[in-house]
Amino acid sequence: MDAQNAMSRLISLCKRRGFVFQSSEIYGGLKSAYDYGPLGVELKRNIASIWWRDMVSKRENVYGLDASIMMHPKVWQASGHLDNFSDPLVDCLNCKERFRADKVTKQTPGTAIEYVDYSSGKKGKMLPGVVPEAGYCCPNCNSPHLSPERQFHGMFKTTMGAVDPMGDFIEHVQNKSLSKEELRAKLAKLMERSTAYLRPETAQAMFVQFLNVQQTMSAKIPFGIAQIGKSFRNEIIVEHYIFRSCEFEQMEMEFFCEPGEEGKWLEYWKQERLGWYRKYANSGDKFRLREHAADELAHYSNGCFDVEYRYPWGWDELEGIASRTDYDLRQHAAASGAKLSYFDQQKQDPKTGKQGWRYVPYVIEPAAGLTRSVLAFLLDAYTVEELSDGKGGTKTRDVLKIHPQLAPYKVSALPLVRKDGQPELAAALAEDCRNSGLPGTCDMNQSIGKRYAKHDEIGTPFCVTVDGQTAEDGKVTVRDRDSTEQVRMDSTRVVAYLHERLDKSLTE
Ligand code: ATP
C-alpha cells in the first residue's frame, strides 16, 4: 500500500472509530478545524502526559506553567510577532491556488519549464514557460504566472472588554467625508484600546514569567519552564489533515542556561527529543534531525534543528529545537522595564573578575506540536497486514500498533457469548482494570472476530476473553494485539499481568 493510500485509510479510520471529527460537521464543517473524539482525546492526552512526565515530572530542574492564551498586547510587540509574524502569500494567476513563497521548492530563474494550462479549459494541456525572477513556480500547476508576494499576518485579533469599537467608529465618522486612508486610520486608533491577540505560540509566557518562576522556586540555572496549551495561527494554507490547522496544541519548554553553554545544551536537547519520539514509535528511522541552514535562522538564533518525520508527502517538521540566545529575555526586559536577569553568587563575572555574576540567561527551546504528534504517532502505528484466510487466499488486518503507553484503551474484556454469566464476568474484569488505572472497556457487540478486528484498529494492546470454561476454572485468554498470541491465565492474575506488560513496554 502506498503512503498516500495509507493516509486516506487512516483518515477514514479516525472518523469511523471516533479519533478525529471535522469541526461543526452537521453545518458542513469548518475548514481546517478538527474535534478530537472519545479515542482521539485519550490519545492526545496520553501523548501530552507522557511529554509532561518525561520533560517536567522526572526532572528536578524543569518547572511547569499554565499561562493564559490572551496576553498583554505589548508582549507581542516586544517579541517581534506584531511586526514580523507574517508569511509571504502568493496567488497563482493560472490555477488560482494560494501558497506560501517560503515553503515552495526554489528553482533557478530562467530555467525552461512546462506547466498545466488552466485558461483554455483543455484538461491536461501543457504550456512552455520559464522560472520567473522570484525563483519558484506554482506548487500546484507549475505555472510561472504569479502575483507578487504579499505579507499575510498570522495572528488572530480579537477585542477584549465591554467595548463596541464599531459603535464608536460610526459616531466618529458619521456625516464626515473621509478618505479611505483616514477611515482606516480612525478605525485602527479606536480598535487599539481593546485589541487583544490569541497567542500564536505558548513560548512567550515562559519568558514573561521567567522571574516569577525563578524566584518562587529558587530555581538555579540551568533550569527550564514548560507548558502545554493551545496556540492559534491564521495559516494561509491549512494542509494535510491535522498537520497544519489554525487552532492547535503545542508542548514547549524554555531551558535557561549560562551564556556560552548553549551549544552543549542544544546538543543535549536535540538528542533527548529525537530519542523521545523514537522511544514511543515503531519506525525510529522515520524520525530524524535536520539542521537549519544559516539563511533559515532567525537573526537572533545561533543554531536550530528540526525533528522531522517522514510523512506520506515527505520529510516535514514535527518539532523545532532552537538556540535563541538571550534575545527574548532582553526584548521583554527592554519593553517592560523588568530586570529579567539572573545572579549567580558562585561564579566570577568574566568581565570584572569579581565574585558574583549577573547575566541574562541564554535559552534553548524545544518546541513540539502536540496535535502534529498525534498525526505522526498515528501514521507510525498504522499497519495493514496481509494474512492467510485459511482457505488458500489472503485477507488484510488493519492494526494500530501504537505504543501501549499511548493507546487510548489498554484493555478490552470480551465475553465469547452474551449468556451463561460471561458478560457479567467480563464486565467485572473490565471494572477491576479501570479501578487499577488501566483504561478499558467491556465489549459485547458482534462476533468475537469482529471485536478483535475493532480493537486492533483502535490500538487496544490487550483483549481478555471470557469463555465457557471461565466459570469452571477461573481462567481467561489474554490476546496480544501485535503478535495475536494468546495466553491463558487465572482471571485474578490479569490486572497484575497487564501492569507488568505496560511497565515492560517502557524499557523494551
Ligand atoms: P511550520 O514550518 O510547519 O509552519 P513552524 O516552524 O512555524 O512550523 P514553530 O513555530 O517552530 O513551527 O512551532 C513549533 C511546533 O508547533 C511545530 O514544529 C509544529 O509541530 C507545531 N505547529 C506550528 N504551527 C502549527 C499548525 N499550524 N498546526 C499544527 N501544528 C503546528
Q: How far apart are the first and last CA of the chain?
A: 28
Q: 242 in a domain, yes or no?
A: yes
Select from 337, 360, 378 the last residue of a domain: 378
* Structure letter (DSSP) for residue 85: -
- β-pair partners for 256: 223, 363
Residue nearest to atom 11 of ligand 1 (CA): 320
Task: Give the Å distances, CA to CA, from 432 to 411, 435, 496, 498.
Answer: 11, 5, 11, 12
Residues 221, 364, single domain; the answer is yes
Q: Domain holding 274: CATH number?
A: 3.30.930.10
Q: 28 in a domain, yes or no?
A: yes
The pLDDT value given to residue 189:
85
Q: Helix or strand or coil: residue 289?
A: strand
Of ligand 1's atoms, which has the minimum distance to the CA of residue 252?
A: 14
Phi, psi angles (nearest 5°) of residue 359: -145, 165
Residue nearest to atom 18 of ligand 1 (CA): 319
Q: 246 in a domain, yes or no?
A: yes
Q: 283 in a domain, yes or no?
A: yes
Q: Domain holding 462: CATH number?
A: 3.40.50.800
Rounded to the nearest angstrom, the distance between the alpha carbon of 430 and the centre of ligand 1 is: 39
Rounded to the nearest angstrom, the distance between the alpha carbon of 489 and the centre of ligand 1 is: 47
Residue nearest to atom 4 of ligand 1 (CA): 244
Q: Which domain holds residue 463?
A: 409-505
Residues in contact with ligand 1 (CB, 6 Å cut-off): 201, 233, 235, 244-245, 248, 250, 317-320, 367-369, 371-372
Q: 21 in a domain, yes or no?
A: yes
Pocket test for ligand 1, best of 317, 363, 374 (most atoms within 8 A of CB): 317
Select from 378, 393, 420 the last residue of a domain: 378
The pLDDT value given to residue 10:
95
Number of domains in the chain: 2
Residues 223, 284, single domain; the answer is yes
The pLDDT value given to residue 385:
92
Q: Look-up: residue for cell 465489549?
A: 443
Residues 373, 428, single domain; the answer is no
Select from 378, 399, 418 the last residue of a domain: 378
Please state the pTM of the whole predicted model. 0.92
Q: 294 in a domain, yes or no?
A: yes
The pLDDT value given to residue 31:
84
pLDDT in tens, the chain (508 residues): 777 788 999 999 999 999 999 999 999 999 889 999 999 999 999 999 999 999 999 999 999 999 999 999 999 999 999 999 998 999 999 999 899 998 899 999 999 999 999 887 777 789 999 999 999 999 999 999 999 999 989 999 998 887 777 888 888 888 888 899 988 888 888 888 889 999 999 999 999 999 999 999 999 999 999 999 999 999 888 889 999 999 999 999 999 999 999 999 999 999 999 999 999 999 999 999 999 999 999 999 999 999 999 999 999 999 999 999 999 999 999 999 999 999 999 999 999 999 999 999 999 999 999 999 999 999 999 999 998 888 889 988 999 999 999 999 999 999 999 999 999 999 999 999 999 999 999 999 999 999 999 999 999 999 999 999 999 999 999 999 999 999 999 999 999 999 999 999 998 8
Pocket test for ligand 1, best of 244, 270, 309, 324 (most atoms within 8 A of CB): 244
Residues 466, 370, single domain; the answer is no
Residue nearest to atom 26 of ligand 1 (CA): 244
How far is it, in rounded angstroms, from Cα 99 to Cα 116? 17
Q: Are strands 462-466 and 411-415 parallel, antiparallel or unpaired?
A: parallel
Q: 24 in a domain, yes or no?
A: yes
Residues 226, 342, single domain; the answer is yes
How far is it, in rounded angstroms, from Cα 265 to Cα 355? 25
The pLDDT value given to residue 35:
98
Rounded to the nearest angstrom, the distance between the alpha carbon of 369 and the centre of ligand 1 is: 6
Residues 453, 352, single domain; the answer is no
Residues 283, 210, single domain; the answer is yes
3-state SS of 323-378? EEECHHHHHHHHHHCCCCCEEEEEEECCCCCCEEEEECCEEEEEEEEHHHHHHHHH
C-alpha cell, 227: 507548558
- At 310, which amino acid appears? R
Sign of CA dihedral 220, 264, 284, 200: positive
Rounded to the nearest angstrom, the distance between the alpha carbon of 267 and the centre of ligand 1 is: 21
Distance of CA 497 to the CA centre of its chain: 33
How far is it, in rounded angstroms, from Cα 215 to Cα 212? 5
C-alpha cell, 150: 504579499
Residues 322, 440, single domain; the answer is no
Residues 358, 418, single domain; the answer is no
Q: 391 in a domain, yes or no?
A: no
Residues 369, 246, single domain; the answer is yes
Residues 368, 415, single domain; the answer is no
Of ligand 1's atoms, which has the minimum distance to the CA of residue 367?
A: 14
Q: Are strands 440-442 and 411-415 parallel, antiparallel or unpaired?
A: parallel
Rounded to the nearest angstrom, the distance between the alpha carbon of 199 and the centre of ligand 1 is: 13
Residues 373, 414, single domain; the answer is no
